[in-house]
Amino acid sequence: MKKLFFILIFTFLSVNVKAQSIKIINKTYNSNRCITSYDVEVNSTDNSLYLKVNNNKIPLVFNSNKAIVKIKNVSENIEIKLIKDIITDIWIFPVTNPITLMSINEYKCPNDFDLDNIPNNIDNCPNNSNENQSDIDNDGLGDSCDSKDNRDSDRDGIQNWQDKCPNQAGPSSNNGCPFADLVIDKKNSTTYSTGDSGTVKTFETNTSHSVYMGDNLKITLKVTNIGSTNSGYTKIGFYLSTTNNINNAKKIRKIDLENLNQNDSQTKYIDFTHSDLISAWGSDQVFLHIKIDNDNNVNEGTNGEQNNTFSRTLFIKNSVRRQSKFPSIITIHNSNGIKIEETTINNKAEEIKFLKELPKGLYFIDQNGKKSKIYKED
């Protein structure tokens, strides 16, 4: 007993504090007469003091000689002490007011732990305030203590709490979010070599192009989003390779593709010169590859990623295309140099028929500036 008395006296003397006290003020009650909040007033001049509430150490903020710390939503027994740090030990200071060391049992509400005015036995969330008793998924747990929304708002088989897109149906492989799906409209996409007598070939046609010096390869590319959500912005890449494999291809151009909403389409027009194609690969036969979503910016799922490419065979000629002489204008002169006929010939069959019908005689022929003569017998 003497030893304990000595320790207390030593503690008190070593601190050398003036009068200090703790006072409970400004109590607020709920309808059950349980205190829901109160102020703790500490009267002291020692700015090294802390308020200890259970195991939490709360610094005091002094205003003149008073420090007030407010504790709210009390739902359990609270022990309040004045404490001070001395090196690594926590010392309890004796104070002049006997309520300094006390348990505030009167503040506990045994039938309403969360102080929301709902008795524990009917409270769907007894330890978390939930006055309106909201339970959005109707699972018996109030929203304030239920982090899982067990509904499936978009009916995709994935509960809302696991669904990153709860209002848009999507597969579990994409966390319940829908995919975009960019595809090339092969019916309405075409290629055209300017030296091919105006032949336009759709992507559906399994044919090739010969591109000679001086020719241009013109592409009309229509892209459609057949997925369930917008695509966002991405790129279209154009590649050349000597095999029908885009993985070994060289990129020759990349263009932007704007955002496409569901079922929207966009058409792009691309023009490659002969030199664009020959400089990228010196081989005669190459494959032109077109890849939408070139940088894989669009989440299309496994199936959607498989319809992003198209390939067409090209024959890149390092020579000038031989021009057809048709259609052509034929002018006929007789042996005396008199023009006897002039007409337009559209093909070889028309040319043979026209010359065959000439009467017997010697004729001088001018066909698109190319001169010749024939002698016709009966």
136 found inside a domain:
no
How far, CA to CA in Å, does 167 sit from each of 130, 152, 161, 178?
Answer: 26, 9, 12, 10
- Domain match, 272 and 366 both: no
301 found inside a domain:
yes
Q: Which of 58, 91, 107 is the last residue of a domain?
A: 107
Q: Which of 53, 87, 107 is the last residue of a domain?
A: 107
CATH code: domain of residue 31: 2.60.40
How far, CA to CA in Å, does 199 sit from each of 195, 196, 209, 210?
Answer: 9, 6, 9, 11
DSSP strand E in 120-264: where? 182-184, 190-193, 200-202, 209-213, 216-225, 234-241, 250-257
- Domain match, 187 and 315 both: yes
What proportions of the chain, in percent to the nearest 5, are helix, strand and coil?
15, 40, 45
115 found inside a domain:
no
Total domains in the chain come to 3
- Domain match, 234 and 287 both: yes
273 forms beta bridges with 216
133 found inside a domain:
no
**Predicted pLDDT at 342:** 87
- Domain match, 88 and 212 both: no
Neighbours of 38 (CB within 10 A): 19
- Domain match, 193 and 309 both: yes
For residue 280, the enclosing domain spans 182-320
- Domain match, 309 and 203 both: yes
176 found inside a domain:
no
Q: Which of 83, 107, 131 is the last residue of a domain?
A: 107
Given a contact cutoff of 8 angstroms between Cβ atoms, the answer to whether 227 and 262 are in contact is yes
- Domain match, 274 and 188 both: yes
How far, CA to CA in Å, does 257 sit from each of 6, 49, 51, 265, 289?
Answer: 85, 66, 64, 10, 16
**Predicted pLDDT at 95:** 36
**Predicted pLDDT at 89:** 36
Whole-structure pTM value: 0.51
281 found inside a domain:
yes
227 found inside a domain:
yes
- Domain match, 218 and 284 both: yes
- Domain match, 243 and 353 both: no
- Domain match, 300 and 344 both: no
Q: State the Cα–Cα distance between residues 306 and 225, nearest whole angstrom.
A: 14
Of the candidates 286, 222, 214, the one whose C-alpha atom is nearest the C-alpha of residue 250 is: 286
Tens digit of pLDDT at every position of the chain (378 positions): 333 333 333 333 333 334 466 666 677 766 655 666 667 777 666 666 777 766 777 777 767 666 677 666 554 556 666 666 543 333 334 333 333 333 344 444 667 777 677 888 889 998 888 889 999 999 999 999 998 999 998 888 899 998 888 888 878 877 788 888 999 999 999 999 887 666 789 999 878 888 888 889 999 999 999 988 899 999 999 999 988 888 889 999 999 999 999 999 999 999 999 888 887 666 688 999 999 999 888 888 877 778 889 999 999 888 877 666 667 888 889 888 888 888 888 888 888 888 888 888 888 988 877 888 888 876
133-137: list long-range contacts, CB under 8 Å, 24+ apart.
none
